[in-house]
Structure 1
Amino acid sequence: MENLHIVFWLFKDIGWCLFWKPLGIVMIFPTLIISIVIAYRTRQMASELFHNLAITFWISANSYWMISEFMQFDALQVYGWITYKHLALIPFFMGVFCLAYYYAIWQPRHPNEIETM
């Protein structure tokens, strides 16, 4: 499943790069759904869960950014110098916070915990 996930992700980004809107938009769904399934399946292993959640947030941010460019609202201003493209930073930072929490808080509090599925 993880390998298939990468294939979908690549096709999504190829669609984005070549501005093939149907391919890029359609590939969001299997890419995002599989990343959520992978995160759910690894929920018993904290390190895997937090990293897979970060990937899910990354795909979400990446997909929103792609759609904002496809629909040509990426450069429109939301407030001041902030554009709609900048809103992709919200899920990007959520992914960063997942990893920051894991490495700064969870892992130091569970140094001897053996992770099993």
Structure 2
Amino acid sequence: MENLHIVFWLLKDISWCMIWKPLGVAMIFPTLIISLIIAWRTRQFMSELCHNVAISLWISANSYWMISEFFHFDTLVIWGEITCKHVALVPFVSGLLILAYYYIWYLPRHKETSESI
């Protein structure tokens, strides 16, 4: 499943690069769904869960950014110099915060029971 996930992800990003809108948008769904399934299946291991949720957030941010460029609303100004493309920072930063939580707070407190990183 993880290998198939990478194939979908690459197809999505190649479609973005080549501006193949239908394929790019279609590849969002299997890519994101499989990443969420992988996160769910690894939920018993905090390390895997945090990393896989961060990946799902990265795919979400990346997909939103792609859609904003495909449909030409990426440069629309929301406020000041913040554009619609910058909305992608919400899931990007959320993923970073989850990883920061894991590495800064969780892992140091659970070293004796931690799984391999």
TM-score (norm. length: structure 1):
0.97
Q: SS in structure 2 opposite 1:78? A: strand
| Identity across the alignment (%) | 66
TM-score (norm. length: structure 2):
0.97
2:112 maps to which residue?
112
In the TM superposition, residue 115 of structure 1 has moved relative to its aligned partner by 3.4
Q: Deviations over 1:15-50 (max 9, x none)?
A: 100000000000000000000000000000111100
Aligned partners of 1:111, 1:10: CA distance in 2, in Å?
A: 35
Q: SS in structure 1 opposite 2:78? A: strand
Q: SS in structure 1 opposite 2:58? A: helix
- The alignment yields a C-alpha RMSD, in angstroms, of 1.0
Paired residues, what number? Answer: 116
1:49 maps to which residue?
49
Structure 1: which 5+ residue stretches go unaligned? none
Aligned partners of 1:7, 1:111: CA distance in 2, in Å?
A: 34
Shift of the 48–85 alpha-carbon distance from structure 1 to 2, 3 Å rule, reads: same
8 Å contact 1:32–1:60 — kept in the other structure?
Answer: yes
Structure 2: which 5+ residue stretches go unaligned? none
Runs of 4+ with >4 A deviation = none
Q: Given the alignment of the two structures, is residue 39 of structure 1 paired with residue 39 of structure 2, yes or no?
A: yes
Aligned partners of 2:24, 2:96: CA distance in 1, in Å?
A: 24
2:90 maps to which residue?
90
